[in-house]
Amino acid sequence: MSPSTFLSRGRLRAGDAPPRLSDAWIALAGLSAVFLFEMLDTSVLNVALPTIGRELGSSTTGLQWVSGAYAVAFGGLMLLFGAVADRVGRRRVMLAGLALLAVASLATVAVTTTEQLVTVRVLTGVAAAMTTPGSMALAFRLFDDEVLRVRALTVISTAGLVGLAVGPTVGGFVLAVAPWQVLLLADVPIAVLAFVGIRCGVAQDDAVGLRSDPVDVGGALLGTATVAGLLVTPTVLVGPATASSWGWAAVVLTVACGAGSVVRLRTARHPVVDLHLLARPLVSSGLAFKAASGLAVAGLSYLVTLQLQFAWGWPPALAAVGTLPQVVVLLAGGRLVGPFVQRVGLGRAAWISAAAVVSGLAVFGALSRHGYVWVLVALVLVAASMRVVGVVAGASVLTGLPTDRTSVGAALVDTSSELAGGAAVTAAGTIVAAFVTGSITTTPWTASRLADFEDALTVAGLGLAAVAAVLVVVGMLRARTADLAPSTSEPAPSTTLAPTTQETSRA
């Protein structure tokens, strides 16, 4: 089939493989919109958290869960929907998820309490769990050529990174002239764009490429309950005395679900995740790097919002200006990725960039209380490095998995990042709640209370940076194992991922 036929028809039939990236532009536009939603949604919400907290009268933990509820639903259900997509069809699951996203976003108009907003965020997280893994999996399966596969992943990840970069800035300026609900309603046109692009540009799923074994729903739900328990329990434990008593019950329930999940993974005939696949060096190293980056990026974004708007009292518009350097570095740094990776090598570039992201969080934790210049340094370090981490880690995991596990593989990548990010927000919010009495949105600020707040941000920043650093070390060790055995069933990362550097440098 000629390139003109692809463009005139606007859709690829099952089995067709476009010879050029531009021949699949409709599909890539839809898939990029999905990833744009994932990144833009979270980054826009973060800058609006203080405004939301004041208007809804949210408590410190309530404000935390306005952000964290999305991560719990997203990270907890992604593997389940990834497994379902590998069986019933990736395109079908994505379209259903996009419809849910549009409905959940429209429900923001009716929100009047913190609890209602948390419910909306849970539904948005469910929609993200249905859609995001499929964007990477469909892009990977759309092309036969490895170079085009990596270029497609780069295009999609770039759209998401642009959303992550411009979200806080755009959100801050919008809040100066419009209510905060407008920011979440922006998901509606993005969902429509993604739905049209995937509906018109992606062929229906070929039954040959789908798995026929059943989904281990019980194991997936045990895993989801474990994830939710791990993220919710710390918040309950540091709450009021009555809540703390429930917290210990949550600890017992979480441990029981975790033990049951492990047993299920080891004994189920068709587990939702094959532990042997996770043990592959290329897969585990990519997941470790992605988790480290996700933890650092989410933690820094949340902490910077608290620092600028609560500790320093900056209005949203000024806080938006404060994040502009991150936007500039992230958008302009694409041309430097290729030369950097070519100079140091792909393997070293992966851990160096992941370590730089973690260093940005460490700089914030140690020095941000001494002035904006240190916040600037932290933002630039993270923005300059996260682009490399995302592309390399994602392609490494997908390359290291069988072709019939691409949706689960993509779900693993996003799960590692989202759960790490959710854990970061949960830990940061829990630390702030433990250090600072009263709600940070409604209780008047005094000098001693402000000092406690700054101490909490320091402890949270340095603690999260330490955990992320451990993940980077794990990724380095596993990547070294993969390099020592390039002739196994997993391709060597340098052969499959090298085109990333060239194509990214041309972006």
Name the band, by pLDDT with cuts 50, 70 and 90, for residue 239.
low
Query: Rounded mean pLDDT of 298-324?
Result: 87
For residue 86 the two structure tokens come to: 């590998």
Check: CB of residue 389 under 8 Å from CB of residue 416. Answer: no
- 354: which DSSP letter? H
- 13: which DSSP letter? P
Give the list of residues 6+ apart from residue 325 with CB closer than 8 angstroms, or none: 376, 379, 380, 383
Name the band, by pLDDT with cuts 50, 70 and 90, for residue 500.
very low
- pLDDT, tens digit (0-9, with 9 covering 90-100), for 39-97: 777 778 878 888 888 888 888 778 878 877 887 888 778 778 877 877 788 788 889 99
Give the list of residues 6+ apart from residue 482 with CB closer than 8 angstroms, or none: 280, 281, 282, 285, 400, 490, 492, 493
SS (H, E, C) 196-216: HHHHHHCCCCCHHHCCCCCCC
Name the band, by pLDDT with cuts 50, 70 and 90, for residue 137.
low
Name the band, by pLDDT with cuts 50, 70 and 90, for residue 102.
very high
Check: CB of residue 109 under 8 Å from CB of residue 58. Answer: no
| % of the chain surpassing 70 pLDDT | 79
pLDDT at 96: 92
Name the band, by pLDDT with cuts 50, 70 and 90, for residue 498.
very low
pLDDT at 166: 75
What sign does the dihedral 81-87-88-89 (CA atoms) show? Answer: positive
Least confident range from 98-102, 274-278, 333-337, 363-367: namely: 333-337
Name the band, by pLDDT with cuts 50, 70 and 90, for residue 32.
confident
Query: Rounded mean pLDDT of 456-484?
Result: 86
pLDDT at 334: 65
> Using CA atoms, how far apart are residues 26 and 18, in angstroms rounded to an integer?
12
pLDDT of residue 5 exceeding 50: no
Give me the amino acid identity at 199: R
- Nearest one of 34, 48, 65, 105 to 414, comparing CA atoms: 34
pLDDT at 153: 73
pLDDT of residue 437 exceeding 50: yes
Average pLDDT of the chain to the nearest whole number: 78
pLDDT at 124: 92
How many CB atoms are closer than 10 A to CB 455? 15
Least confident range from 87-91, 170-174, 296-300, 487-491: namely: 487-491
> Using CA atoms, how far apart are residues 77 and 85, in angstroms rounded to an integer?
12
| Nearest-10 Cα torsion for 208, 210, 214, 218 | 180
Name the band, by pLDDT with cuts 50, 70 and 90, for residue 365.
very high
- 21: which DSSP letter? G
For residue 201 the two structure tokens come to: 């540009």
What sign does the dihedral 393-399-401-403 (CA atoms) show? Answer: positive
pLDDT at 323: 81
pLDDT at 75: 76
For residue 461 the two structure tokens come to: 């920043």
- pLDDT, tens digit (0-9, with 9 covering 90-100), for 380-427: 888 888 777 766 777 677 777 776 666 666 667 777 887 788 788 888
- pLDDT, tens digit (0-9, with 9 covering 90-100), for 184-231: 888 899 899 889 888 887 777 776 666 667 778 888 888 888 878 877
